[in-house]
C-alpha cells in the first residue's frame, strides 16, 4: 500500500492508502465513484480513459488511466470530465461538441474532451498558423478511438472553437 494525495478538479483528495497495483482508472471509478472517466480497453489504445494532468508550470497533458497505477499520480493535479463545466456553465468545447452533434453513444466523449481541452490550452500558450490548424487538430485527436462517429464532427467542433477565437489560438496572418 502507498499513501496517495492528489488534486482532482481543484479538490484535494487524500492522503489515503491505495494498493500499489491499483490502476488510476479503478481508483477514480471504484474508489471515488467518478465514472465519467471511462474504461475501454485496458491497454491505452482507445484513450476513452484519458484525463488531463496539470503540470506546475501551467502546461497540461493527457494521460491514460487504465494502465497507469493510481500511485503514479501522487502529488499531481488532474482534471476529469466532471470538472470541465464550471459553476453550472458548460465549457466552450463541451458546448461545441453538443452543437456539432460530435458524439453518438458518447462513451469516448470524455477522452476527446480532455484531449481537445489540452489542445486549446496549448494553442493559447503557443498559437499555430492557420495553415497548420487542420494537422494540429488531427494529430492531437488521432490517438482517441470512436466507433460511432467517424471523427469528423469532433474535428469540426474543435476547428470552430479555435476559429471563433482565432486571435487567441492562431498566429495572425502577416
Partner 1 sequence: MRPSRREFVKWLSAGGISVSLSHLASATGVPFAAHETLPGRGKFNPATKGAGRVDGVAKVTGAKLYASDFRANDLPGWPQTTSHAILVRANDAAHVYTGLDLGRLGGALKPSVVVTAADLDRIGTQVPEFYAGDLFCPPGKTPLYLGQPVALLIFEKFDAFDQARLALRDGTFVQFGEETGPVVVPDYGAFRFTRVAGPSPDKPDVYSPLQAGWVSPKKVQSAALPVWSPLAKEMPADYAKAAKHGEQIRAELAADDASMLVLDREFETQSVDPMFLEPECGLAWYDGKGGNLELLLGVQSPYEAAESIAHLFGKARAPYKPAHINAQFAHVGGGFGGRDHTPFILYVALAAVCFPGKPVRLAHDRYQQFQGGIKRHAIKMRSRIGIDRATGKIKAFAADHVLDGGGLAHFSASVAVVAATGAIGIYDIPKVDVRTVAVHSRGVSAGSMRGYGILQAMTALEVLIDEAASELKRDPIEFRRRNALPQNGRTMTGNPYIVSVRTPEILDKLEKHPIWQQRAQFRQTSSDRLVGTGVACVTKDYGSGADGSLGRVELAPDGRIVIYCDHVEMGNGIGTALANRVAGHLGAVADEVSVARVDSYDVLGLVTSGDPSSIDQKTQDAAERNPRWVPAISSPTSSSIGAHVGTHSAAEAARVIFRFGLWPAALELWRIPRTDPRARQWASASWQNGQLTMPGLEMAGLEPLALPVLAATAHARGFVTGAVAHSFSRWAWSRARFPLLGEQYRADIDALAIRKGKGKFERINRASVKFPPTDNNRIGTAYTSMCGTVVRVEIERATGALRIAKAYSVFECGTALVPEVVMGQAQGGFAMGVGYALLETLPPFEGGPGNGEWNLGRYLVARGSDLPLRDLEIEMLKPQTADEAPKGMAEVVMIPIVPALINAIHDATGHRFRALPVTASLLKGVLA
Q: Could you list the residues that contact partner 1 (CB under 8 A)?
A: 19, 21-22, 26, 30, 33-43, 45-46, 48, 80-82, 84-85, 88-90, 94-95, 97-101, 103-110, 113, 134, 138, 141-153, 155
Nearest CB to partner 1, comparing residues 58 and 88: 88
CA distance 38 to 28: 10
CA-to-CA dists, residue 113 to 12, 20, 36, angstroms = 22, 28, 11
CA distance 11 to 116: 22
Nearest CB to partner 1, comparing residues 65 and 80: 80
Identify the residue whose cell numbers are 496549448: 122
- Specify whether the CB–CB gap between 26 and 51 falls below 8 A: no
Question: Considering the complex, what minimum distance in angstroms separates the CB of residue 171 from partner 1?
Answer: 21
Question: Considering the complex, what minimum distance in angstroms separates the CB of residue 15 from partner 1?
Answer: 18
Question: Considering the complex, what minimum distance in angstroms separates the CB of residue 68 from partner 1?
Answer: 15
CA distance 55 to 117: 15
Nearest CB to partner 1, comparing residues 21 and 57: 21
Amino acid at each position: 500500500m502507498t499513501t496517495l494525495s492528489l488534486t482532482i478538479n481543484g479538490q484535494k483528495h487524500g492522503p489515503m492508502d491505495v494498493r500499489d497495483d491499483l490502476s488510476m482508472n479503478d481508483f477514480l471509478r471504484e474508489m471515488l465513484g467518478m465514472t465519467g472517466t471511462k474504461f475501454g480497453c485496458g491497454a491505452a489504445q482507445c484513450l476513452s480513459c484519458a484525463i488531463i494532468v496539470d503540470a506546475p508550470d501551467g502546461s497540461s497533458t493527457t494521460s491514460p488511466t487504465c494502465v497507469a497505477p493510481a500511485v503514479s499520480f501522487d502529488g499531481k493535479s488532474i482534471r476529469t470530465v466532471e470538472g470541465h463545466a464550471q459553476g453550472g456553465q458548460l465549457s466552450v468545447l463541451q458546448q461545441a461538441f453538443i452543437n456539432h452533434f460530435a458524439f453518438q453513444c458518447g462513451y469516448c466523449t470524455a477522452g476527446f474532451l480532455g484531449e481537445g481541452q489540452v489542445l486549446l490550452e496549448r494553442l493559447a500558450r503557443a498559437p499555430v498558423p492557420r495553415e497548420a490548424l487542420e494537422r494540429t487538430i488531427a494529430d492531437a485527436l488521432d490517438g482517441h478511438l470512436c466507433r460511432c462517429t467517424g471523427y469528423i464532427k469532433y474535428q469540426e467542433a474543435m476547428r470552430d472553437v479555435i476559429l471563433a477565437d482565432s486571435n487567441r489560438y492562431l498566429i495572425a496572418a502577416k
